[in-house]
Amino acid sequence: MDVHASLDADCDADRLFSFVDDLAKYPDWMDLTHRVEADPESADAAWNVELRARLGPLARSKRLRMQRSVHDSGAHVVVFERAEADGKRHSRWVLRATVSQQSEQRSLLDMHLHYDGALWTGGVLERVLADQITSGRGRLQELVSRSPTR
């Protein structure tokens, strides 16, 4: 599964990138990321992430250990990849975020999520992600549009 989403934001690229280059900030704007904690046993930038979604009366959650494999603050590119520490083989999760400056106070966020597992079959994950992208896009826009001092 590959999901692409974008956001045209009313802020500069540095500000927008500051909201997507650290997974610990995702719960502020993306409900799917229920809980994110830095992995205390990792020397690299890694997080334990709990994804949680509701579909009617049902709730489903998934825990992942995600590691930042690319972080280029100058080019505004970050990539997070699933990197479990248990030695077992797991489905791939790769999240790539790229921010580009469009004008003095406008920037564009492009995100791509790749997942090759079998969690939530039959298009369920795609529907959940579509809903989360819609609501998260609005909250992220609100966050980046606020004055940095507020």
Nearest to 26 by CA among 41, 14, 38: 38
Q: What is the CATH number of domain 2-145?
A: 3.30.530.20
DSSP three-state, residue 29: coil
- Report, as ranges of residue numbers, the positions in the chain whose pLDDT lies below 50: 149-150
Predicted TM-score (pTM) of the model is: 0.88
What distance in Å separates the CA atoms of residue 61 and residue 99, rounded to the nearest whole number? Answer: 29
What distance in Å separates the CA atoms of residue 98 and residue 73, rounded to the nearest whole number? Answer: 10
pLDDT in tens, 112-141: 988 887 765 556 667 777 777 778 888 999
- Which pLDDT does position 69 carry in this prediction? 96
Q: What residues does each domain of the chain span?
A: 2-145
- Which pLDDT does position 150 carry in this prediction? 43
Nearest to 26 by CA among 146, 148, 135: 135
What distance in Å separates the CA atoms of residue 45 and residue 137, rounded to the nearest whole number? Answer: 25
Tokens representing residue 21 in the block: 């280059």
What distance in Å separates the CA atoms of residue 3 and residue 113, rounded to the nearest whole number? Answer: 5
Nearest to 42 by CA among 85, 71, 73: 85
Q: Which helix (H) or strand (E) holds 95?
A: strand 93-103
Residue in this structure with the two tokens 């990539």, named with its chain if needed: 79
- Partnered with residue 109 across adjacent β-strands are 7, 99
- Which pLDDT does position 127 carry in this prediction? 72
